[in-house]
């Protein structure tokens, strides 16, 4: 017969020892990677991150978005959208250009259009803030008529014609779009009309004549 005196006493539980810091590491080293630590501590001496983007330089050329078009391509999984931007830029001192950019995002399309417009700057003739004479031009279905205006009239135009005139530096002008309402054709017709402008001196010099001095 087994009695209580014959039952062996249970062994005492081992005492829990407090875990101290790991040898050779600090409290910051034992933090996880999300907390800025890490056992290897490889990010401590790297310093601030470098920004590889080039700083934007102000070259005095103003940009204006004329039209943004959204295109949808139907694929097996649904629709994929892309954007195209028609951008006009100029220095407001007689130079104007047109650019067309396409991308998956609107901002990227505008950026591409601006870069393309800066590469296609055209010099136009402006006299006292207006055009020297009446002009008419066509591009595709776009038909534009431009007339000089007296100081203080302002830019009497709209849409793409107004954007081109503002970018070129024209302050007073009367304009009329008489053809298609396609933004690209209207803008190209306007630039074509401004590019064909000539002053009185240019016309006489091309004919081999000189400008007579006005009698006092």
Structural domain contains residue 31: no
Structural domain contains residue 46: no
Chain-centre distance of CA 36, in angstroms? Answer: 36
Confidence of residue 3 (pLDDT cuts 50, 70, 90): low
* Structural domain that includes position 124: 62-202
Q: Is the pTM of this model over 0.75?
A: no
pLDDT number for residue 12: 62
Question: Between these two residues, 78 and 12, which has the higher pLDDT value?
Answer: 78
Confidence of residue 183 (pLDDT cuts 50, 70, 90): very high
How many structural domains comprise the chain?
A: 1
Instruction: Bin 4: left if φ > 0, else alpha if -120 < ψ < 50, else beta.
Output: alpha
Structural domain contains residue 184: yes
Mean pLDDT (whole number) for 182-186:
93
Structural domain contains residue 145: yes
* Cα–Cα separations (whole angstroms), residue 150 to 13, 158, 191: 104, 18, 21
| Mean confidence (pLDDT) of the chain | 80
pLDDT number for residue 77: 87
Structural domain contains residue 27: no
Using CA atoms in the order 130, 132, 134, 136, what is the torsion angle rounded to 10 degrees? -90
Residue 215 has pLDDT above 90, yes or no: no
User: Helix, strand, coil: what percent of the chain each, to 5?
Assistant: 25, 25, 50
pLDDT number for residue 143: 94
pLDDT number for residue 5: 54
Structural domain contains residue 185: yes
Distance between CA atoms of residues 181 and 33, nearest Å: 58
pLDDT number for residue 97: 93
Domain at 166, CATH number:
3.30.230.10
Distance between CA atoms of residues 125 and 104, nearest Å: 37
Q: Say if residues 18 and 9 touch (Cβ distance below 8 Å).
A: no
Confidence of residue 39 (pLDDT cuts 50, 70, 90): very low
Structural domain contains residue 182: yes
Structural domain contains residue 209: no
| Tens-digit pLDDT profile for residues 94-145 | 899 999 999 999 999 999 999 999 998 999 999 888 999 999 999 999 999 9
- Whole-number percent of the chain with pLDDT over 70: 71
| Tens-digit pLDDT profile for residues 148-172 | 999 999 999 988 999 999 999 999 9
């Amino acid at each position: 017969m087994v009695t209580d005196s014959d039952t062996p006493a249970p062994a005492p539980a081992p005492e829990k020892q407090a875990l101290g810091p790991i040898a050779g590491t600090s409290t910051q080293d034992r933090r996880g990677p999300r907390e800025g630590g890490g056992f290897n501590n490889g990010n401590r001496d790297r310093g601030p991150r470098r920004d590889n983007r080039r700083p934007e330089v102000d070259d005095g050329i103003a940009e204006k978005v004329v039209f943004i078009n959204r295109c949808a391509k139907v694929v097996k999984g649904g629709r994929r959208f892309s954007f195209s931007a028609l951008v006009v830029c100029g220095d407001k001192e007689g130079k104007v250009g047109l650019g067309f950019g396409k991308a998956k995002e609107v901002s990227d399309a505008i950026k591409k259009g601006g870069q393309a417009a800066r590469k296609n700057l055209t010099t136009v003739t402006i006299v006292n803030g207006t055009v020297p004479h009446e002009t008419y031009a066509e591009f595709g279905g776009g038909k534009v008529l431009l007339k000089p205006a007296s100081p203080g009239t302002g830019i009497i135009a709209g849409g793409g014609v107004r954007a081109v005139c503002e970018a070129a530096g024209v302050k007073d002008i009367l304009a009329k779009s008489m053809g298609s309402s396609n933004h690209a054709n209207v803008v190209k017709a306007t630039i074509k009309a401004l590019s064909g402008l000539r002053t009185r001196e240019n016309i006489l010099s091309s004919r081999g004549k000189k400008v007579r001095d006005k009698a006092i």
